[in-house]
Every structure is written in structure tokens, then in C-alpha cells.
């Protein structure tokens, strides 16, 4: 297992970690297999989406904020229920196909660490399974 450390700088933020994940795949020399990317935090997540136009990131964050407002009548006493709900919606892991030593993401796909309760020090766990 490999671990990537991420320092987030905003409360809500999508951070492209595609190159870090691909570097782990390349270092492993695995040509065909599966790459599991897992976020061990309950107020963050992992998503795959377009990394060409940065407006896609801001649209996702803005719409999530509209669906799940920060200040509602939530029960959770820690005061970050919106972050837990966004994490549940986005999900905390992704499974990727590795072929010819490359993550198969399509033309515009990128892997994003999704921060919903930053800024914080975070980590992402990566496990590779060789075919």
C-alpha cells in the first residue's frame, strides 16, 4: 500500500491527484491490473471527473453547496454535517483499471481528492492489484 499526503487549503476544494496516482502505478511496474484509491476520512472523498475545464470543479462544488447547505438544523454536534453528507454523496473511493501501465481515465478524466471540511492535513491510500 502507498500513502499520499495532501495539505488542503480551503473548506471545500477539489484537488487533482491524477499525476500522484499515476506515479505510484508507474513505480510499481504493473502493466495490467486494478488500482484502488481510498480516502480514510469521513468529511472528504474521491471522485473522477473532467480535469480540463476548471469550471467543472467549481460547478460541482457550488451545486453540492446548494444541495447541502453548511448551516442547517443538523443533529451532529461537531458542526460539520454538511461535510459528512457531501462525503457520503461523492464516495470515499474509486477503483481504476490499469492497462499498459497507465490509468484508464478517458480523454478528460482526472482523479480528485474532494475536501469538504478543510483546511486539513489529509491522506489518500492506494493499493495496486496485479492481474
- Helices 54-67 and 81-90, interaxial angle, to 10°? 120
Q: Of 80 and 114, which has the nearer Cβ to Zn ion?
A: 80
Question: Is the separation of the CB atoms in 25 and 102 below 8 Å?
Answer: yes
Q: Which residues bind Zn ion (CB under 5 A)?
A: 78, 80
- Residue 116 CB, nearest distance to Zn ion (Å)? 10
Phi, psi values for residue 7, rounded to 5°: -105, 110
For residue 70, the surrounding DSSP H or E stretch is none
Q: Of 36 and 84, which has the nearer Cβ to Zn ion?
A: 84
- Residue 44 CB, nearest distance to Zn ion (Å)? 12
Q: Of 22 and 43, which has the nearer Cβ to Zn ion?
A: 43
Q: Of 19 and 77, which has the nearer Cβ to Zn ion?
A: 77
- Residue 84 CB, nearest distance to Zn ion (Å)? 6
- Residue number of the CB closest to Zn ion reads 78
Q: How far apart are CA 51 and CA 56, in angstroms?
A: 8
- Residue 101 CB, nearest distance to Zn ion (Å)? 39
Q: How far apart are CA 16 and CA 48, in angstroms?
A: 9
Amino acid at each position: 500500500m502507498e500513502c499520499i499526503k495532501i495539505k488542503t487549503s480551503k473548506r471545500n476544494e477539489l484537488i487533482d491527484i491524477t499525476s500522484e496516482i499515476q506515479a505510484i502505478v508507474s513505480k510499481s511496474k504493473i502493466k495490467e491490473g486494478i488500482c484502488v484509491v481510498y480516502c480514510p476520512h469521513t468529511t472528504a472523498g474521491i471522485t473522477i471527473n473532467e480535469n480540463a475545464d476548471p469550471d467543472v470543479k467549481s460547478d460541482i462544488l457550488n451545486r453540492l453547496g446548494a444541495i447541502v447547505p453548511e448551516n442547517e438544523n443538523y443533529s451532529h454536534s461537531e458542526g460539520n454535517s454538511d461535510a459528512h453528507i457531501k462525503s457520503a454523496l461523492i464516495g470515499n473511493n474509486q477503483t481504476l483499471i490499469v492497462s499498459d501501465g497507465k490509468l484508464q481515465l478517458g480523454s478528460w478524466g482526472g482523479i480528485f481528492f474532494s475536501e469538504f471540511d478543510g483546511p486539513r492535513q489529509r491522506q489518500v491510500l492506494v493499493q495496486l492489484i496485479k492481474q
